[in-house]
Structure 1
Amino acid sequence: MRFLRRVRIEPFILAILAAVVVAAVLPATGGAATALGWVTTIGIAVLFFLYGARLEPRELLAGVRHWRLHSVVLAATFLLFPALGLLGSWALTPVLGEPLAAGFLFLTLVPSTVQSSITFVAIARGHVSAAVVSASVSNLLGVVLTPLLVFALMTRDGAVVITWDSVGKIALQLLLPFVLGQLLRRWVLPVISRIRRLALFDKSVIVLIVYAAFSEGVADGIWSRVGPAQLAWLIAACCVLLAVVLGLTELISRALGFADRDKRVVQFCGSKKSLATGLPMAAVLFVGQPVGLLVLPLMLFHQIQLIVCAWLAGHYGRAEGSAAPAV
C-alpha cells in the first residue's frame, strides 16, 4: 500500500487493470456473459439511485450565488471539452481508427468527478464549498447532457449508433433511478449513511462493467486491432488534452478576475472526467458495439488526471503555506 501511494496508483485503478487482464485470459461467454449482463444492469440502476440519494438539493441551490463560477466550470465540462474532443477525434482517426477515436470523443462528453475534484481543491487551499456545488451540479446535469451530447456529436458519421432501445434503457437505468433517489432521499440517506463500505459497492460495479466490456471485446476479437503505436498515440493525446484544459481554465479564471481559491475550483472541477459515471453510461449507450475500445480512452485519461492533478494540487497547497482550506 505504501508503494501504491508513492507512485499515485489507487487500488481501485489496479482492480480495473486486473479486470482487463482477467477478461483477456478468461472472458465471460455464453451463459456467464448473460448472467453478468443482468448483474451489471441491476448494478448500474442501483448506482444511479445512490447518486440521486446522495446529492443534496438544498446545497446545490445554495450555490446559485456563485453562478458565474459554476457557469465557467460547466462550460469547460460540456462545451470546451467536447470541442476539443471533436477536434481530437478528427485528428486521431487516421492513427487510432474509428472506435478509439470515438472513445476519445466520448471521454470529453462525460461529467466531472465529484470526490477527487473536491479533494484536490481542498489540498490546493481552494474554495471547497464551491467545489462541492460545481462537481455535484456537473454530475446532476451530466445524467441528461451526456446522452444528449452523444446523440448530437457521435451519431453523425455512423461510427456510433444510438437506437430507440438505447433511449429507453437510458431512461430506465439512469434517469429513473436517479430521480427516484432524489425523491426518496429523505428516507434512503439515513440508511446508506450508516453503511461504512458503500463506496466499495460503487467501485465493484465499475470493475464488473470493465470486465464485461473487455470480455465482449475479447470474444469478438477486437483487441487484435489495438497495437503499441495506437496505445502510445492515445496516451499522448490524453496528456495533451489534460494539459490544454488545465491551461485554458487557468487563463480563463485569470481573465475573469477570480480569486485564487475560486481559480482552483474552475481548474480542478473543470478539468476532470468521471470514470464512475462515464462507464455505466457507456454500458447503456453503446449496447452491441465495441464498448471496450470506446471506454479505453476514458480509463487512461482518468488515471492520468489523478496523477497530474494530485501533483498540481500539492504544488498549489505548498505555495499557499499552512493556511486552512477556505469553506
Structure 2
Amino acid sequence: MIARLRGALDPFIVALLGVVALASVLPARGAMAGVVDLAANAGIVLLFFLHGAKLSREAILAGAGNWRLHLAVLGTTFLAFPLLGLAMAAIPGIPPLVGIGLLFLTLLPSTVQSSIAFTSIAGGNVAAAVCSASFSNLIGIVVTPLLASALMGQGSGMAGGISLGAVEKIMAQLLAPFVIGHLARPLIGAFVSRHRQAITLVDRGSILLVVYSAFGAAVVGGLWHRLPPSSLVLILGLCCALLALVLGLTWALGRAFKREDAIVLLFCGSKKSLASGVPIARVLFPAAQVGALILPVMLFHQIQLIACAFIARALSRSAGARVGAGTSGDGAR
C-alpha cells in the first residue's frame, strides 16, 4: 500500500510546495516584483497557447456524439461542484479566506491528462474522456470567470461583476492564445507531439512561475498572518470531504450509462484542473488574493490524484475479474 501511495504522489506537487516555501521566505519585492509579474503573465499566455496546440480535433470528433455523457460531466463540473462549494463556504465558523478558496476550486474545469489516463487504466471510454475533458477546459475559459463573477463578487473584490479590465485580460491572456495555438496546430502539432515531455516541462514551469508570483504577493500582503496552520488542516479536511461527495455522486449518476461511460463520468466529473486554476486566478483576482485562492486547488489536486489512482486500479482489477469469469463460464459450457 505504501508503494502504491508513493506512486500516486505527484512530483509536481513537491515542486509546488518548494516554490510556496521559497515565496514565503524570499518573495519578490520592489522592481523585482514587477519583473516576476511580467514573466508570470508571459507564462500564462504561453501555457494557454500550448493548451490550444495540444487539443486534438480528431479525438474530440471521435467522442463528440456521446452528448448525454458530456452534458453529465459538464453538469457535475459547473453545477453540482459550485453548489457544494457554496454550501461549504456557508458552513458557520469557516474563515472567509478558506470559504472563498474552496468556492473558487469548485468553479474550475476538469483536468485533461489525468482524467484520460485514469479512464484508460480503469477500462473506460478513452475517446469520450478526451472529448469531455477537452470540452470542460475549453468552456471553462469562459464559464469559470462568469461563475466567479456571479458567486464570488463580494468576497473577491469584483464588485458583483467582471470589469472591463478583467474581460480584456481573459481575452488577451487566456482565450486568444488558446485559439491561436489551436489554429496553429496543423503547423506545430507534429512538433508538439514529438516533444511532449519538453512541452510538459514548459507547462509546469509556467505554473510554478505563476505560483511564485502569486504567493510572493500574498506573503507581502500578510497571507500567513491571516491564514494560520489550523486553516490549512481545515482546507485539507474539506477537500477530502468534497472529493468523496463528488465521487459518490458521479458513480451514482453513472448507473444511467454503460460501464465504459460511467468510468468517464467518474474521473472527468470529479476532477478540478490545477493547470487552469492557477492562471485563471492570476488573471481574475488581485495579486494579494491569489495565494490564498489557489491553496485549496493545490491540495485538492494531490488528493484527487491519490484517490483516483487507487480507484482506477480497483476498477481495472474488477474488469479483469469479470473478463476471467466470462471466459471460465464459456469454457464450462
The answer to which of 197-206 and 56-65 deviates more is 56-65
Match of 2:27 in 1: 27
Residues 208-230 of structure 1, C-alpha deviation per residue, up to 9 Å, x if partnerless?
Answer: 11111111111111211212221
5 Å-filtered alignment, 1:283-322, equals: 283-321=282-320
Match of 1:112 in 2: 110
Q: Larger Rg: 1 or 2?
A: 2
- Asked whether the 8 Å contact 1:4–1:11 carries over to 2, the reply is no
Match of 1:238 in 2: 239
> In the TM superposition, what is the alpha-carbon distance from 1:266 to its structure 2 partner?
0.3
Structure 2 residues not aligned, in runs of 5+:
324-333
Match of 1:229 in 2: 230
Residues 180-216 of structure 1, C-alpha deviation per residue, up to 9 Å, x if partnerless?
Answer: 1122221121232333411000001111111111111
Which amino acid letter does the alignment assign opposite residue 170 of structure 2? I
Q: When the two structures are superposed, what TM-score results if normalisation uses the length of structure 1?
A: 0.92
Alpha-carbon distance in 2 for matches of 1:33, 1:177: 24
Match of 2:46 in 1: 46
Match of 2:248 in 1: 247
Alpha-carbon distance in 2 for matches of 1:63, 1:125: 16
Residues 126-177 of structure 1, C-alpha deviation per residue, up to 9 Å, x if partnerless?
Answer: 111111111111111111111111111111x344325321221111000111
Match of 1:272 in 2: 271
1:131 is aligned, of 121, 129, 154, to 129
Closer, same or farther: CA 9–70 of 1 in aligned 2, 3 Å: same
- Asked whether the 8 Å contact 1:275–1:302 carries over to 2, the reply is yes
- Asked whether the 8 Å contact 1:253–1:263 carries over to 2, the reply is yes
The alignment partner of 1:91 has SS state of coil
Structure 1 residues not aligned, in runs of 5+:
none
> In the TM superposition, what is the alpha-carbon distance from 1:14 to its structure 2 partner?
0.4
> In the TM superposition, what is the alpha-carbon distance from 1:5 to its structure 2 partner?
6.7
Match of 2:213 in 1: 212
Alpha-carbon distance in 1 for matches of 2:249, 2:271: 13
The answer to which of 222-231 and 139-148 deviates more is 222-231
Alpha-carbon distance in 1 for matches of 2:59, 2:306: 29
> In the TM superposition, what is the alpha-carbon distance from 1:66 to its structure 2 partner?
0.7
Deviating 4+ runs (over 4 angstroms): 2-5
Q: When the two structures are superposed, what TM-score results if normalisation uses the length of structure 2?
A: 0.91
Closer, same or farther: CA 264–48 of 1 in aligned 2, 3 Å: same
* Equivalent residue pairs, number: 318
Which amino acid letter does the alignment assign opposite residue 300 of structure 2? F
Query: Percent identical across equivalent pairs?
Result: 49
- Asked whether the 8 Å contact 1:112–1:273 carries over to 2, the reply is yes
> In the TM superposition, what is the alpha-carbon distance from 1:308 to its structure 2 partner?
0.7
Alpha-carbon distance in 2 for matches of 1:310, 1:153: 32
